[in-house]
Structure 1
Amino acid sequence: MTDLQVRAQRLPGIGWRYTIPADRGRDVMVVVEDRGPRYLVLLDPHLDEALTTVRLPAERASVLAALLTGARFTLIPSDEPAEVGAPDPLEVVVETLPVVSGSPAIGLTQDEAAPRLGDEAALLGVIDDRTPELIDPEGGRAIQEGDKLVVAARRGRMESLRSSV
């Protein structure tokens, strides 16, 4: 895969704007607000206005990102019982894993906690039930007891992740 040039620009008081080339001379722009939604914008350099703009809450943007990577997954909240049957252990699933007292994740930032999940899992975000959106990973907030980690991994690996969080 060749290196793709991504243009990044800080938007003071708002967040970041990232632009990548798409097809037929068009660009795709992603605006990531510091504490809020994400925007997908399709630009044509021959036009003064965007072709279209889509607003996504942070949690839906995370799902879209997983879909764009080609991940096949099923969202199963950890507080619901698993389905009866023999699920595919290789299927990628996304689960919310509660951070309980004594968890090794407590006190770590998302950047510090992510590598501890191993190469076969991805930390997609952290949820604090007191707020309506995912916690900003660049904010440096430490993971706390009661938070929920949003983790993507193969179904067969999820049980060991539950016990390590």
Structure 2
Amino acid sequence: MRALTRFQIRLARLWMTVMLIGLLIFMVGIQPDLIGMNRSITVGFVQIGVWLTGLAILLVAAYSTVRVIRNGKTNSLRADIGIRLIATGYVVAAVGSLADFIGVGAHRMPVVHFGYIQMIGLVTGVLLSMLGVILYMPWTKEVKTEDIAPDPTEEIPTLGIESLH
């Protein structure tokens, strides 16, 4: 794999910074007490929107960082599965988080409740997305030249058979 250029290194650092910003937004959405913004004992639509926005920024930045690190390497089947798992994980997290608001949850409007099943949906989605990022990472296997072909200067054993001439 080719070495990264200075521009690619800067671009990867920029995306990692955006990833940290997305993580901060996600954490503020999950726990608004971190910045003194907890105004209610329940989880509301705005709070869910904040953590889903933070998660989206985090995942797009993680994908973009790994894409820069891949350095033009063609996508393998594992990498393609990783890309799809990132998107699927976000959809699972979004549906799990918004279940009561979109009408597939256990509670109906106007009394919505972010319960254990929705929390499991959010965590499952985040874990699926993390697995997708890991699968998308470029894993290089160090291959020794001896494993590819034998050394041509090395003598081949003759098994006691001398010359056939």
The TM-score bracket by the shorter chain reads under 0.3
- Larger RCO, structures 1/2 (Cα 8 Å, 6+ apart): 2
TM-score norm. by structure 2 comes to: 0.27
Structure that is richer in helix per residue: 2
Structure that is richer in strand per residue: 1
Larger radius of gyration: 2
